[in-house]
Homo-oligomer: A and B are copies of this chain.
Amino acid sequence: MDMDTLRRVDMYWRAANYLSVGQIYLLDNPLLTEPLTPEHIKPRLLGHWGTTPGLNFCFAHLNRVINARDQEMIYIAGPGHGGPAAVAHAWLEGTYTERYPGVTRDAAGMRKLFRQFSFPGGIPSHVAPETPGSIHEGGELGYSLAHAYGAAFDNPDLVVACVIGDGEAETGPLAASWHSNKFTDPARDGVVLPILHLNGYKIANPTVLARIPEDELVKLLEGYGYRPHLVSGDEPAAMHELMAETLETVFDQIAAYKEGDGGRLPMIVLRSPKGWTGPAVVDGVPIEGTWRAHQVPLAGVRDDAGHREMLQEWMRSYRPEELFDELGRPVAEITVTVPEGERRMSASPHANGGVLLRPLALPDFRDYAVQVKSPAAESSEPTRVLGTWLRDVIAANPETFRLLGPDETASNRLSAVFETTDRAWDAEVLPTDEHLAAGGRVMEVLSEHLCQGWLEGYLLTGRHGLFNCYEAFIHIVDAMFNQHAKWLESSKKIGWRAPVASLNYLLSSHVWRQDHNGFSHQDPGFLDVVVNKKAEVVRVYLPPDANTLLSVGDHCLRSRDYVNVVVAGKQPVLDLFTMDEAIAHCTRGLGILEWAGTENLSRDETATGPDVVLACAGDVPTLETLAAAALLREHLPELRVRVVNVVDLMRLQQPSEHPHGMKDAEFDALFTPDRPVIFNFHGYPWLIHRLTYRRTNHAGLHVRGYKEEGTTTTPFDMAMLNDIDRYHLVIDVIDRVPGLAVRAAALRQRMVDTRLRARAHTREHGEDLPEVRDWTWPY
Q: A residues touching B (Cβ–Cβ < 8 Å)?
A: 27, 42-44, 46, 80, 118-126, 128, 137, 139-142, 167-168, 170-179, 182, 202-208, 211-213, 216-225, 286, 289-290, 407-411, 423, 425, 427-430, 432-433, 436, 444-447, 449-450, 472-473, 475-476, 478-479, 482-483, 486, 489-490, 516-521, 523, 525, 528-529, 531-534, 684, 686, 689-690, 693, 698, 708, 711-714, 717, 762-763, 765-767
Nearest-CB residue, chain B, relative to A684: B532
Give the number of times this chain occurs in the complex, counting copies.
2
Q: Point out the residues of chain B lying under 8 angstroms from A529, CB to CB.
A: 475, 478, 525, 528-529
User: How many Å lie between the Cα of A712 and that of B46 in the bound state?
Assistant: 9
Q: Collect the chain B residues with CB atoms within 8 Å of residue A534's CB.
A: 708
Contact partners of A205 in chain B: CB under 8 A:
407, 423, 425, 436, 444
Contact B407–A203 (Cβ < 8 Å): yes
Nearest B-chain residue to A264, judged by Cβ:
B216
Please state if B121 and A763 are interface contacts (CB–CB under 8 Å): yes
A446 touches B168 (CB 8 A): yes
Of A126, A207, A211, A763, most B-chain CB atoms within 10 Å = A211
Nearest chain B residue, comparing its CB with the CB of A476: B479
Cβ distance A243 to chain B, nearest Cβ, rounded Å: 24
A143 to chain B, nearest CB (A): 10
CB <8 Å contact, B446 and A518? no
Given the complex, which residues of B lie within 8 Å of A450, measured CB to CB? 170, 172
Chain B residues within 8 Å of A711, by CB: 124
CB distance from A95 to the nearest CB of B (A): 21
Whether A482 pairs with B212 at a CB distance below 8 angstroms is no
B429, B478, B698, B708: the one contacting A693 at CB < 8 Å is B698
| In-complex Cβ contact of A207 among B125, B126, B409, B446 (8 A) | B446
Task: Give CA–CA (A494, B517) in the complex, Å.
Answer: 19
Contacts known (A142-B172, A445-B170, A482-B525); A216 close to B207, Cβ less than 8 A: no
CA distance A289 to B433 in the complex (A): 11
Given contacts A119-B766, A128-B519, 5 further A-B contacts (CB under 8 A): A43-B765, A124-B711, A140-B476, A689-B690, A693-B693
A-B pairs with lowest CB-CB distance, top 7: A220-B223, A139-B520, A172-B172, A175-B175, A219-B223, A475-B479, A172-B176
Please name all residues of chain B whose beta carbon is closer than 8 Å to the beta carbon of A528 when the two chains form the complex. 528-529, 532
User: B179 and A208: CB pair below 8 A?
Assistant: yes
Given the interface pairs A223-B222, A290-B432, A528-B532, the reply to whether A120 lies near B713 with Cβ below 8 Å is yes
Query: Which residues of B have CB within 8 Å of A80?
Result: 520
Provide 24 A-B residue pairs closer than 8 Å at the C-beta atoms, listed in order of the A residue: A42-B766, A80-B520, A124-B520, A125-B712, A128-B519, A170-B445, A171-B172, A171-B449, A172-B450, A179-B208, A204-B407, A204-B411, A206-B425, A206-B428, A206-B429, A223-B223, A472-B482, A475-B529, A478-B478, A478-B479, A486-B519, A490-B519, A534-B708, A693-B693
Nearest neighbor of A689 in chain B, beta-carbon distance: B693
A46 to B532, CA, bound (A): 36
CA of A124 to CA of B483 in the docked complex: distance in angstroms? Answer: 35
Q: Which residue of B lies closest to A449 (CB)?
A: B172
Closest-CB distance, A427 to chain B (whole angstroms): 4
Q: How far is the CA of A714 from the CA of B42 in the complex (A)?
A: 13
Of the residues B42, B171, B479, B519, contact of A447 by C-beta under 8 Å: B171
Q: Which residues of B contact A767 (CB under 8 A)?
A: 43-44
**How many angstroms from the CA of A620 to the CA of B358 in the assembled complex?**
46
CA distance A696 to B223 in the complex (A): 63
Q: Which of A27, A42, A172, A208 has the most CB of B within 10 A?
A: A172
- Do B175 and A766 touch across chains, with their CB atoms under 8 A apart? no
User: Which of A171, A425, A689 has the most CB atoms of chain B within a 10 A radius of its CB?
Assistant: A171
Q: How far is the CB of A28 from chain B (nearest CB, A)?
A: 12
| Minimum distance in angstroms from A508 CB to a CB of chain B | 14
Residue of B nearest to A763 (CB): B121
Kindly provide the distance from the CB of A283 to the nearest chain B CB, expressed in whole angstroms: 15
Q: How far is the CA of A137 from the CA of B176 in the complex (A)?
A: 22
The answer for the CA separation of A519 and B220 in the assembled complex, in Å, is: 35
Residues of chain B lying within 8 A (CB to CB) of residue A221: 223
With A529-B478, A693-B693 already in contact, the answer to whether A712 and B432 are too (CB < 8 A) is no
Query: By the criterion CB–CB under 8 Å, are A208 and B445 in contact?
Result: yes
Q: Is the CB of B225 within 8 A of A216?
A: yes
- Within the complex, the shortest CB–CB distance from A749 to chain B, in Å, comes to 24
